[in-house]
């Protein structure tokens, strides 16, 4: 509920159903929960590196999937977030959001402290 209220789900879209894959029924029509829309979004000046790559300009980033994000430190030995590791925790990562995600960041900041903690716990559980 808080994830949607904050506006996170606009880009970190929760679920998808896989397509029908001929000869692979076990992979067809599966519901997956990557928490991404896999699209490029303008994330604002603060996250811009001013280096175009492919179709992305220096302010655009593909929405990172959130599934498994709570295991980042266990798997990699550190917990740095965003494209360049500048965020030391999930709250910092949220606070770096700008551009198309500025409203979601503002919604997060405006939440009660207890709701922000609940939202962070939810994201860590993915």
Q: What is the pLDDT of residue 78?
A: 86
Q: What is the pLDDT of residue 11?
A: 96
Kindly report, residue by residue over 10-58, the tens digit of the pLDDT. Answer: 999 999 999 999 999 999 999 999 999 999 999 999 988 888 888 889 8
Question: For residues 8-21, b (16+ Cβ closer than 10 Å) or e, as one string?
Answer: beebbbbeeeeeee
Q: What is the pLDDT of residue 95?
A: 96
For residue 58, the Cα-to-chain-centroid distance in whole angstroms is 18
> 84: Cβ–Cβ under 8 A, 6 or more apart, which residues?
49
85 pLDDT above the threshold of 90:
no
Q: What is the pLDDT of residue 58?
A: 86
* Angstrom distance (rounded) from CA 34 to CA 81: 17
Q: Where are the domains of the chain?
A: 2-125
Kindly report, residue by residue over 63-76, the tens digit of the pLDDT. Answer: 999 999 999 888 98
* Angstrom distance (rounded) from CA 34 to CA 71: 14
For residue 55, the Cα-to-chain-centroid distance in whole angstroms is 20
* Angstrom distance (rounded) from CA 53 to CA 115: 37
Q: Could you say which architecture CATH assigns to the domain 2-125?
A: Orthogonal Bundle (1.10)
């Amino acid at each position: 509920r808080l994830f949607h209220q904050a506006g996170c789900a606009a880009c970190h879209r929760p679920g998808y159903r896989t397509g029908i894959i001929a000869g692979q029924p076990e992979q067809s029509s599966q519901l997956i929960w990557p928490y991404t829309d896999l699209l490029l979004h303008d994330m604002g000046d603060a996250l811009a590196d001013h280096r175009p790559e492919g179709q992305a300009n220096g302010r655009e980033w593909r929405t990172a999937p959130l599934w498994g994000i709570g295991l980042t430190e266990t798997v990699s030995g550190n917990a740095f977030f965003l494209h360049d590791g500048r965020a030391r925790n999930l709250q910092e990562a949220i606070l770096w959001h700008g551009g198309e995600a500025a409203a979601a960041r503002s919604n997060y900041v405006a939440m009660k402290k207890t709701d922000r903690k609940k939202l962070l716990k939810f994201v860590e559980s993915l």
